[in-house]
Structure 1
């Protein structure tokens, strides 16, 4: 299962973002890919170690309540496991 996280602050490095999600997701973090770190288009793809669809929705709702460097995150769960997240325009 994948989540896409938007609104990642451009003040955060790739390591800052990775560390934040490793801490927040704990054992659910299977993979974390950060795109365009340090830019206004920074976002992350989080791969969850779960095959149960509701887990991604629950994690997405929980992450929506979190702030990274004072900025509220926007999180969406991918509707299908096989699809890649759409690039941000």
Structure 2
């Protein structure tokens, strides 16, 4: 299961985003991939270490609304875990 995080500030580097998400998610963050860091279209995909769908939704709610780089993050669980980029 993947977590998609959008609305990442252009001022945030890939490393900052990765460290923030790993710190916030702890052992649930299996792998973090940041796409288009430094651009308005930046987003992150987090492979979650959870197999039960509702766990992904709970984790998404915890990240959704947190501040990073002065912007409020938007997060949602991707139940199908394919590599389709999120719609903006």
Compute the TM-score of the two structures, normalised by the length of structure 1.
0.90
**After the TM superposition, which of the residue ranges 15-24 and 62-71 deviates more from structure 2?**
62-71
Taking the aligned partners of 2:49 and 2:86, their CA distance within structure 1 comes to 23
**Residue 60 of structure 1, CA deviation:** 0.4
Distance 2:65 2:87 in 1: 22
Aligned residue number for residue 27 of structure 1? 27
**TM-score, with normalisation over the residues of structure 2?**
0.91
Stretches of structure 2 lacking an aligned partner (at least 5 in a row): none
State the aligned residue count: 88
Q: What 5-or-longer segments of structure 1 have no aligned partner? A: none
Q: Is the 8 A contact 2:65 2:74 kept in 1?
A: no
Aligned to 1:56: 56
CA distance in 1, matches of 2:36, 2:85: 14
TM-fit CA distance, 1:69? 1.6
Provide the aligned C-alpha RMSD in A: 1.3
Alpha-carbon separation, structure 2, partners of 1:52 and 1:8: 26
Aligned to 2:41: 41
